[in-house]
Structure 1
């Protein structure tokens, strides 16, 4: 890791040597640190994501997804990608707008969740199912879930299940697909960008993008409103997307998310 610390909304970040080299004199701004230890920095009009070795994050998988999705939707343009012993990096051009969890949008949750819902619907409508080479189906994810985390790592609402075996038993019979779309794969609120006008401006962090039921995204998008804005914003997000609540699919895909 690097020799420099900078601030971010979640506290100080240590800047990796690879990021210092990519900055090439540009100001480095800390943007985000995710739960797996991945870091995001702004370098002028560019962004760089850093995934330390052992984090389980695969930025090499995100680059081709961005390249494909960028033909149809507002996602970052890839400028470069690489790896070294300490980790991987992905360099992209900046998109207009800021994350939906910036303080200004947390103070206006109605605007934020409306933009998230509309943006997710726009993404699902724009990305062509018939041309998508990437998979995020239930079957693929269940295979990963069988090798995945235990109850200590789950959201509190699932810990009562006690064991991975019991949770997997609940996932053994997936609900029928409501609508097959190209899902974002990580539709949490921070991954929607909002412009100064309060409208959806783009999506970031598409490393898991692939074909799946749209509720695989919707279940997580609505769930994340509780973490970022407080209770009461799930239904407004679904209304902005244009769909009625589906408690069965929501519960299923939230549990699958926890296990993977």
Structure 2
């Protein structure tokens, strides 16, 4: 399963973590606040001054985090949909960094929206629908198809309990027998709730963390985004999500793409 960002982590998450030299150089004396650290050690900091806010993401060498890949996708997607604009990017012997402008809004899993899940779920669904409608499939140079994803992992360790008792051989057999494609769109690639931003009025304002963006069946996004609702808001929100997006739930495709996600592909 792809890693989820830790939103507004406790101090213990960053205890003993030294700010990378490249991040300090990018901050250039401006206010620097740690925002999250993911399970692979990727770091994100907020940089602010009196005029603007930015975020700098950092991936150490050897971490396997596709930060360079994300920068490429953000630069392409920014022409069509609200995503962080890449201001600069670079690397040194220790790792790769990317500086982006801040978007308005809070993560959909901020305490404000956890306390108002109905608004959050509607914003998630509307935002994903807008993303799928705005980005041109024929012009997208990035691929997130089943064939491409199946070149990745085939391990169910650390999966959701719904797949926990499924032998790896059987999981792989199912993964290599996908349902027919419904509709090809440009997918987010990691559409879990934390990666949608919501404005003060409850409207979707943009998406973040788009390293896997690419063309795929829309159910690759829909299955995972709807799944993440129960992780963040509790059970029972999927009907509202699908109704707001404007599609009837497809149990076969939902089950398939959730398995593929759990396989880490």
TM-score by length of 2: 0.90
Identify which of 74, 81, 88 aligns with 1:66.
74
Which residue of structure 2 lines up, in the alignment, with residue 24 of structure 1? 28
Distance 1:39 1:242 in 2: 36
Farther-moved stretch of structure 1 (210-219 vs 75-84): 75-84
TM-score by length of 1: 0.92
Identify which of 37, 41, 46 aligns with 1:42.
46
Structure 1's unaligned 5+ residue stretches are: 1-6
The ranges of structure 1 where at least 4 consecutive aligned residues each deviate by more than 4 angstroms after the TM superposition are none
- For residues 112-170 of structure 1, give each alpha carbon's deviation from its aligned partner in whole angstroms, at most 9, with x where no partner exists: 110000000000000001101100000000111xxx2533222222121122x221101
3-state SS of paired residue (2:33)? strand
Distance 2:194 2:156 in 1: 25
Distance 1:72 1:208 in 2: 17
Distance 1:232 1:16 in 2: 42
Which residue of structure 1 lines up, in the alignment, with residue 225 of structure 2? 221
3-state SS of paired residue (2:131)? helix
Which residue of structure 2 lines up, in the alignment, with residue 10 of structure 1? 9
- For residues 3-61 of structure 1, give each alpha carbon's deviation from its aligned partner in whole angstroms, at most 9, with x where no partner exists: xxxx9722222332221221111211222222332222110111111223333211111
Give the number of equivalent residue pairs: 250
1:159 aligns with 2:158: no
Which residue of structure 2 lines up, in the alignment, with residue 109 of structure 1? 117
Structure 1 residue 83 displacement after superposition = 2.2
Assess if the C-alpha contact under 8 Å between 2:44 and 2:55 holds in 1: yes
1:51 aligns with 2:63: no
1:201 aligns with 2:200: no
Structure 2's unaligned 5+ residue stretches are: 1-5
RMSD: 1.5
Question: Residues 139 and 59 (structure 1 numbering): CA distance in 2 closer, same or farther, change over 3 Å?
Answer: same
Structure 1 residue 207 displacement after superposition = 0.6
Farther-moved stretch of structure 1 (27-36 vs 220-229): 27-36
